[in-house]
Chains A and B, each alone.
Chain A
Amino acid sequence: GQQLNQSPQSMFIQEGEDVSMNCTSSSIFNTWLWYKQDPGEGPVLLIALYKAGELTSNGRLTAQFGITRKDSFLNISASIPSDVGIYFCAGPPIIQGAQKLVFGQGTRLTINP
C-alpha cells in the first residue's frame, strides 16, 4: 500500500527559530494533509492541500504540495512553545472513492525556551 515517510523524525530547536519538515511517498497523492498531535490528544488538522504546486498558509504555518505529487513540505516560522508536538502528514490513497487516510510516522518537535 501507499506509505508516507517523514523527516526528520525529531527536531530540537530554540524558540524563535524557523522549522522545516517534509513528507515523501513512492507513489502519488492527490491530497496532502498536515496534522498536529499534542500528548494524549487526537490529531488536529492544520493545512489541507489539493493541487500540485499549491502553497497554503495558516498563520505562521506554510505548506506546499510538491510538483511531482510525491512530496509535501511544512514550514513553521518564528516557533513558539505551543508549537511543541508531533506533526503528521497524511493523505487518502489514490483509489477511487477512498476516504481513509494514510499517515506518516510523524516529526516530533521540541522547543528549548
Chain B
Amino acid sequence: DTGVSQDPRHKITKRGQNVTFRCDPISEHNRLYWYRQTLGQGPEFLTYFQNEAQLEKSRLLSDRFSAERPKGSFSTLEIQRTEQGDSAMYLCASSSGTLTQWPVTDTQYFGPGTRLTVL
C-alpha cells in the first residue's frame, strides 16, 4: 500500500495557461475526492467520484475546472485559463467506499497535494 500520490508536487504557471494535475489513489479504493486549500484555511471540497462516476461537484468548481476518472483508477483535474485566484494547494483523497454506511463515512486518506502558483 503506497498511499495516495499526486503529480506534480509543485506547478508554477502564467495566468491564462492550462494546467493538469494527476492523482493516483490507494489501489482498490472506489472513491476519490478533490479538495482545494488556500493559505491559512482548511481544505474545501471540490468534487468526488465513485468509481468513474462524478457524483458531486461543489459550486467552487467553475466552468474552467474539469475532473475526470476515466477508468475508475487515477484521476485528473484540469484548470483552463488559470487566474491568480486559482493559486492554492490541490489535495486528492481516496477511500474504500465499500465498507461503511451513512452516516458513518469512509476514512479519507489524503495525498501530499499539488501546490499551484499562478503568476
Contact = CB atoms under 8 A, between A and B. Distances in A.
Interface in B19-77: 31, 33, 35, 40-45, 48, 55-56, 58
A102 interface: yes
**Size class of the A contact interface (CB-based, 8 Å):** 20 to 34
Contacts of B115: 40
B99 interface: no
Interface in A36-58: 40-45, 48, 50
Contact of B105 (A31, A40, A88, A96): A31
Interface in B67-119: 91, 93, 95, 102-113, 115
Interface residues of B, number: 30
A31 B108 CA distance: 13
A44 B91 CA distance: 12
Q: Is the interface of A mostly helix, strand, loop or mixed?
A: loop
B87 to A, nearest CB: 15
Interface of A: 4, 30-31, 35, 40-45, 48, 50, 88, 90, 92, 94, 96-106
